[in-house]
């Protein structure tokens, strides 16, 4: 029956057409589905990750779930430097592409190469055809190992160790400006040459570090060089109160104390006596048993100073707490002094 065959053929073609339309709709909407299933939706692209936006594993578009973006591993220690380099060039403001993630700004203020020398155009004797441009590569891209980023509070975060964070603070000459500790946890803020750092450590959770670079500084009016050279090992030794030289080795100095006279006693490999700094020095990669120590012993009124010693007088202004002002040093006031034996 021809009429029945035509009806069956029409029904089959309608089924094929409806299936094709359904598959086409799924194909066109697969991008929307992938965005809904992507935990890093809104945290991709150069606006968030800066130059690290294209660093992710390859995955076919047939997969609904997009690959997790990658970010650099930031490491720092006394024995390893920052990201494997002992000499770091620090800029006052980020130089280069910076994303919404604060770790992209950190990598744009600490540079592996100096930025003081701009690309120079060398004119040859034969004219512009003999010119040469000297390139400058100061990016960490391709120099650092990467790992998958972590989604935390709508942010694409990377991990940073305690030693790396302390190294960054030391290189930026940061100091504490705010601290609050309560039942909810700890919150600390630091300010330095490159910007401000904020640490939030909730009780029972992981510490969160966020960096806020300077935004009110005009590079056109900058009087200093674009970057300063920093040696990681020397900056950390300065933080620990340790000096190092070919003739004396490593010697640790005590903390400053109140006014009064004292004598410095040399102790071979006695840096362990500096209890507050010993643990931090070991954590940063040093060995405290290799460091000598100058122990500061207070001289009382009945004690006699050493006969063969160099007396160092320390005159410091005195803080008047009632007036909240610094009062100039008075000549009649007894100054602090330190005796250093000559035979040590």
Domain layout of the chain by residue ranges: 70-232, 243-341
Per mean pLDDT, which range of 18-32, 144-158, 197-211 is the poorest?
Answer: 18-32
Which of 87-96, 108-117, 133-142, 147-156 shows the lowest mean pLDDT across its residues?
133-142
Q: Does residue 128 carry a pLDDT above 70?
A: no
The reported pLDDT for the residue numbered 138 is 63
Confidence (pLDDT) at 337: 65
Q: Residue 116 — pLDDT band, cuts 50, 70, 90?
A: low
For residues 85-90, give the mean pLDDT: 92
Residue 243 has pLDDT above 80, yes or no: yes
By residue count, the chain amounts to 344
Query: Against a cut of 0.85, is the pTM above it?
Result: no
Cα separations in angstroms, 164 against 77, 157, 199, 258? 6, 15, 14, 33
Residue of 147, 146, 143, 192 lying closest to 167 (CA atoms): 192
Q: Is the pLDDT assigned to residue 217 strictly greater than 90?
A: no
pLDDT of residue 321: 43
Can you tell me the distance from the alpha carbon of 240 to that of 282, in angstroms, rounded to the nearest whole number?
11
Which pLDDT does position 324 carry in this prediction? 41
- Label residues 29-53 b or e (16+ Cβ within 10 Å = b): eeeeeeeeebebeebbeeebbbbbb
pLDDT for 131: 35
| DSSP state for residue 95 in the 8-state scheme | -
Structure tokens at 42: 């809104």
Q: Is a pLDDT exceeding 70 seen at residue 27?
A: no
Q: Is the pLDDT of residue 233 over 50?
A: yes
Structural contact between residues 45 and 69, judged by C-beta atoms closer than 8 angstroms? no
The dihedral formed by the CA atoms of 16, 21, 26 and 32, expressed in degrees to the nearest 10: 180
Residue 17: pLDDT over 90 = no
Dihedral, CA of residue 153, residue 141, residue 82 and residue 88, to nearest 10? -120
Q: Give the range with max mean pLDDT: 125-134, 316-325, 330-339.
A: 330-339
Alpha-carbon span 229 to 113, nearest angstrom: 9
In the numeric block, which tokens belong to residue 306? 């050493």
- The average confidence (pLDDT) of the chain is 76
Question: In the structure encoding, which two tokens stand for residue 35, read together?
Answer: 């965005």
């Amino acid at each position: 029956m021809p009429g029945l065959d035509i009806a069956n053929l029409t029904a089959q073609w309608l089924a094929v057409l409806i299936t094709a339309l359904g598959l086409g709709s799924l194909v066109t909407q697969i991008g929307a589905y992938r965005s809904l299933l992507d935990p890093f939706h809104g945290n991709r692209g150069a606006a968030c990750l800066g130059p690290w936006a294209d660093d992710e594993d390859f995955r076919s578009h047939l997969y609904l779930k997009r690959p997790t973006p990658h970010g650099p591993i930031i490491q720092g220690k006394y024995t390893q430097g920052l990201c494997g380099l002992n000499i770091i060039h620090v800029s006052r403001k980020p130089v280069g592409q910076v994303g919404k993630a604060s770790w992209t700004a950190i990598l744009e203020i600490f540079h592996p190469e100096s930025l003081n020398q701009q690309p120079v155009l060398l004119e040859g004797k034969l004219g512009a055809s003999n010119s040469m441009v000297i390139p400058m590569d100061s990016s960490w891209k391709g120099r650092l190992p990467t790992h998958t980023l972590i989604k935390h509070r709508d942010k694409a975060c990377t991990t940073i160790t305690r030693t790396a964070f302390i190294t960054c603070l030391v290189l930026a000459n940061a100091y504490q400006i705010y601290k609050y500790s309560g039942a909810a946890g700890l919150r600390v803020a630091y300010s330095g040459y490159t910007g401000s750092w904020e640490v939030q450590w909730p009780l029972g959770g992981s510490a969160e570090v966020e960096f806020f670079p300077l935004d009110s500084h005009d590079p056109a009016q900058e009087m200093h060089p674009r970057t300063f050279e920093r040696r990681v090992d020397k900056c950390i030794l300065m933080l620990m109160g340790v000096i190092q030289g070919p003739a004396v080795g490593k010697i640790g100095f005590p903390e400053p104390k109140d006014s009064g006279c004292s004598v410095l006693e040399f102790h071979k490999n006695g840096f362990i006596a500096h209890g507050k700094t010993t643990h931090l020095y070991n954590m940063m990669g040093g060995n405290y048993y290799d460091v000598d120590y100058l122990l500061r012993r207070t001289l009382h009124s009945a004690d006699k100073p050493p006969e063969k010693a160099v007396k160092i007088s320390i005159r410091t202004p005195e803080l008047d707490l009632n007036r909240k002002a610094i009062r100039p040093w008075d000549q009649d006031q007894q100054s602090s002094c330190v005796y250093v034996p000559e035979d040590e």
